[in-house]
Structure 1
Amino acid sequence: MSASTALPAYLEPLGHGIYAVDTAFQRDHFDAAFLIVDDGRAAFIDTGTRHALPRLLGALEALGLPRDAVDWVIPTHVHLDHAGGVGPLMAELPAATLLVHPRGLRHMVDPSALWAGALAVYGEEEMRRSYGELVGVPESRTQASSDEQRIALGGRTLRLIDTPGHARHHHCVWDEVSGGWFTGDTFGLSYREFDDPVRGAWIMPTSTPVQFEPDALRASIARMMAAHPARMYLTHYSRIGKDAADVERLAALLVAQIDEMEAIARRLKDAPDRHAALKRELLALFQRRAAEHLTEPMPPTRVAALLAMDVELNAQGLGVWLDKLDKPARG
């Protein structure tokens, strides 16, 4: 199939040789992998879970790209909704190198600890249903990224920077051609259900356990914004930002909510049944912020349903962060 033929519904062209692949994790338009194509060469940024493999390979086929055209597979970090499909995908791409944050590299070579950590959060049944088996990548096919690293893809250059705050094993990828960052989870979550015809996209932070650090996250966002991006490519979900001014609006909204989340967490640090209290206050925050954004009101119950998993995980992550406040810092 050539690129001129109608593309499958799960493959969305975003311009500048960039495509979003809907990985079908949890629901439609929830989790994206990105495929960048330039001068016949390709790179995947994030992969979704193992269950996304048919769509990732199908995207190459739909665009008329052989599997050996892929030079790079770049998970933004090693959380399984971003990197669970890395091992199976690499096994199908004979010319690709896995480029991963140095703190996450060992987990891509031997994912047993990654599996155990996620198992503790989600349980066996959910792990099998949502994520599937993890497969390691031969170390000879991997490379650890470095801050300010630049790599070639066809005729363009991609730049990687270290972006802790959501996770210490997180990097983001700058694409000069599109003027956009591939942000993983560092620039938060923006679901298309919350798009407003007048005001555009809405955004919220993610503090998924276990390495949320608000100061580091604010610094990472500021560092990305210093490039004056015209758009952002979020794993959850896809491209946002009409122009540089709109991205500035989104960044301000994101940072304001990080501040509010931190304040909520500190206030509830010693509350009885802290987790339930965190969930209740976070949901109220996001419902209020969404209502302020939308010109056509969305029922609060609908907001709660769409954000249920994120509220749970954000509360868990804030709890872990609070528990670390009284402990000596570790390197």
Structure 2
Amino acid sequence: MNTSLSFAKLVADGVYTVDTGFKRDCFDASYLILDEGEAAFIDVGTNYSAPRLIQTLVELGLTPAEVRYVILTHIHLDHAGGAGEMMRLCPNAQLIVHSRGVRHMIEPSALRLGAVAVYGEDAVHAAYGTLLPIDALRITEAGEGFEIPLGSRVLRCLDTPGHAKHHIAIWDAKSKGVFTGDTFGLSYREFDTEKGGYVMPTTTPIQFDPVALKDSVERIAALKPDCIFPTHFSRVDDIPKLKSLFLEQLEEMVSLAIGLKEDVQRRENLKKGLLDIYVKHLNEHGCRFTKDQIADFLEIDLELNAQGIEVWLDKLG
């Protein structure tokens, strides 16, 4: 069945990775879960991703009316920008989102303005289009321990701050996997080696909290999952190894940041230092990219992570 799907791949029992097409191939994922004729999407990309998600349903013999839930790990626009459009297209779906994200789904103007402040008006319009509001009656708040029934499955939510205060992760006992959004970092398939997947923390503005992030990763790992499903990108295994790699880099990133707190060229030196951290670990991982290739590939991540760290440093006072 996998080979017939245009944008999706089966990655676990009833779980499909759908490439949303945002920015490039294999960058941004939506996950489609099917169980006993019921469907749920976890994260949905942008408005421009909706045709891919709907086409995947059709190719699997389903209709948008069979989508029971649209679940958001958090409300950053590469995860939630298309939520309003998907809710419009899926008339029977309920939106599941952290309580801190509800008001932004009902009225997304402030969310969009926040993105404009980071990326600029033209870039936001080109990347996300017009954000559609969602009827409050179709939104359900999810916090720690909230359970989502789907066919024979019960998806359980964890409150996982650190990347964002409005972040949840979703444990699926049937696949023994956790949908981690951005909490367990980024895992780009281009960095895969014979050692498996590589993972790196993301500190995207504006709510990076390294103490909370470490705790969230520890709690996810404590479930002893067989795999995680990060939004960037697709399934990765060997969670104990990934946890150690993640936490080691997080500690190095915090140490770098503290050392540069009063630096007059803080942004640029943060980016240089972050690159050195990633290059070191990628080399240890067996990645054959050169430093220049890594810098080019991670150009956007380096900028956003530096911005996120700076916001955190300024909050320290």
TM-score range, shorter chain: over 0.9
Say whether 1:70 aligns with 2:61: no
Q: Which runs of 5+ in 1 are unaligned?
A: 327-331
CA distance in 1, matches of 2:63, 2:132: 23
Residue 264 (structure 1) aligned to one of 247, 256, 259: 256
Say whether 1:239 aligns with 2:239: no
CA distance in 2, matches of 1:134, 1:269: 36
CA distance in 1, matches of 2:128, 2:282: 29
Deviations 1:54-105 (A, max 9, x none): 0011111011112111111001000000000000000011110000000011
Partner in structure 2 of residue 158 of structure 1? 155
Partner in structure 1 of residue 316 of structure 2? 325
CA distance in 2, matches of 1:200, 1:132: 36
Partner in structure 1 of residue 106 of structure 2? 109
Say whether 1:275 aligns with 2:260: no
Partner in structure 1 of residue 77 of structure 2? 80
Aligned residues: 317
Say whether 1:199 aligns with 2:191: no
Partner in structure 2 of residue 292 of structure 1? 284
SS of the aligned residue for 1:113 comes to helix
Residue 183 (structure 1) aligned to one of 170, 180, 183: 180
TM-score for both structures, normalised by structure 1: 0.94
SS of the aligned residue for 1:137 comes to coil
Partner in structure 2 of residue 42 of structure 1? 39
Q: Which runs of 5+ in 2 are unaligned?
A: none
TM-score for both structures, normalised by structure 2: 0.98
Change beyond 3 A, Cα 1:11–1:5: closer
Instruction: Answer whether contact 2:258 2:313 (CA < 8 A) is retained.
Output: yes
- Within 5 A, what are the aligned runs for 1:10-49? 10-49=7-46
Mean Cα deviation higher: 5-14 or 54-63: 5-14
SS of the aligned residue for 1:104 comes to helix
Structural RMSD (CA): 1.0
Partner in structure 2 of residue 174 of structure 1? 171
Mean Cα deviation higher: 251-260 or 128-137: 128-137
Give 2:217's aligned amino acid: I
Say whether 1:301 aligns with 2:292: yes
**Cα distance, 1:301 vs structure 2:** 1.4
**Cα distance, 1:146 vs structure 2:** 2.1
Deviations 1:97-135 (A, max 9, x none): 000000011001100000000000000111111122111
CA distance in 2, matches of 1:303, 1:64: 40
Residue 253 (structure 1) aligned to one of 245, 255, 270: 245
**Cα distance, 1:7 vs structure 2:** 2.5
Say whether 1:209 aligns with 2:205: yes
Report the identity percentage: 47
Segments of 4+ moved more than 4 angstroms: none
SS of the aligned residue for 1:157 comes to strand
Give 1:313's aligned amino acid: L
CA distance in 2, matches of 1:218, 1:95: 37
CA distance in 2, matches of 1:273, 1:134: 36
